[in-house]
Amino acid sequence: MCYFFHTAGIIHPDKVKDFFTINVEGTKNLLNEAERADIKRAVVVSSNSPIGCNPTHEHVFTESSPFNPYMNYGLSKKLMEEEVLKVQAKGKLETVRIRAPWFYGPFQPPRQTLFFQMIKEGKGPVVGHGNNRRSMAYVDNLAQGLILAAFAEVANGKVYWIADKRPYTMNEVYQTIENVLESNFNIKCKRKRMKLPNIASDVAFWVDKYLQSLGFYHQKIHVLSEMNKTIACDISLAEVELNYNPTVSLEEGMKRSIKSLLDEGKVI
């Protein structure tokens, strides 16, 4: 009996069309092949982006939250989920959709290394008060959720949020990274922030929207547009139905992330 984990996708392309070629058409092709190969179940990784941003800082998304895609990446992931639902309805291939937010851990993409460097140098951007919350998923926690989703009978046809135990404020994320760098790796941090008003993210949002309407994508502008947003989820359903138990905390996850980078010879 075979199980298929689809974790591939593109988040920051050069051209907007790549979102749809890779995230939508690529997923559709893979699911068609999984059907032909008589795979029992496909576990497909989606994102928080098809659900968008929380309306308030206190709000958290659940599995019943409606689609509200954030830009074209969010739209591509919404369309991808709809392709998964079409396959599920045919009845030949079982599917589970996993909505994973901002992930971190060993073998992370270069943009995460830059993030650590900016925090160390006191240039980590805080837009607004910095108390907006973000759900994050350490890679081991995420892997646990994927495996549980593959083998739990109750998961067939469902969607789950998989993340760390709770969301973190941006201030908490920055402070945790600073503490780990200094206490565990003797890397001195300037303990400063690049503080920006909320309008910085608002302007970035409209610039990002305009560029994407022309078919272009700029990673830094897009990231800035999200910096004052709350993107937080509730993992209760996965805890109850899958026995999901994310044991790696933000502090421990950051220790492992930074150690991995240093072991690879990267400079923070």
pTM of the model: 0.95
Per-residue pLDDT at 112: 85
pLDDT at 1: 82
Find tokens 């949020």 and name the residue: 161
Of 241, 35, 17, 226, the closest CA to residue 132 belongs to 226
**The pLDDT value given to residue 168:** 98
pLDDT over threshold 90, residue 46: yes
pLDDT of residue 141: 98
Q: Which residue has the tokens 């892997």?
A: 143
Element (H, E) at 136: strand 136-138
Joined together, the tokens standing for residue 35 give 């059907």
- Residue 144: the pLDDT is 98
Give mean pLDDT, residues 257-268.
93
75 has pLDDT over 90: yes
pLDDT digits (tens, 9 = 90+) for 87-142: 999 999 999 999 999 999 998 888 888 999 999 999 999 999 999 999 999 999 99
The answer, yes or no, to whether residue 248 has pLDDT greater than 90, is yes
Q: Could you tell me which CATH number the domain at 3-263 has?
A: 3.40.50.720
Give the pLDDT score at 123.
95
> Is the pLDDT at 239 greater than 90, yes or no?
yes
Burial 191-228 (b: 16+ CB within 10 A, else e): eebeebeeebbeebbeebeeebeeeebbeebbbbbbbb
For residue 189, the model assigns a pLDDT of: 97
Q: Is 140 exposed, middle or buried (0-12, 13-18, 19+ CB in 10 A)?
A: middle
Tell me the domain boundaries of the chain: 3-263
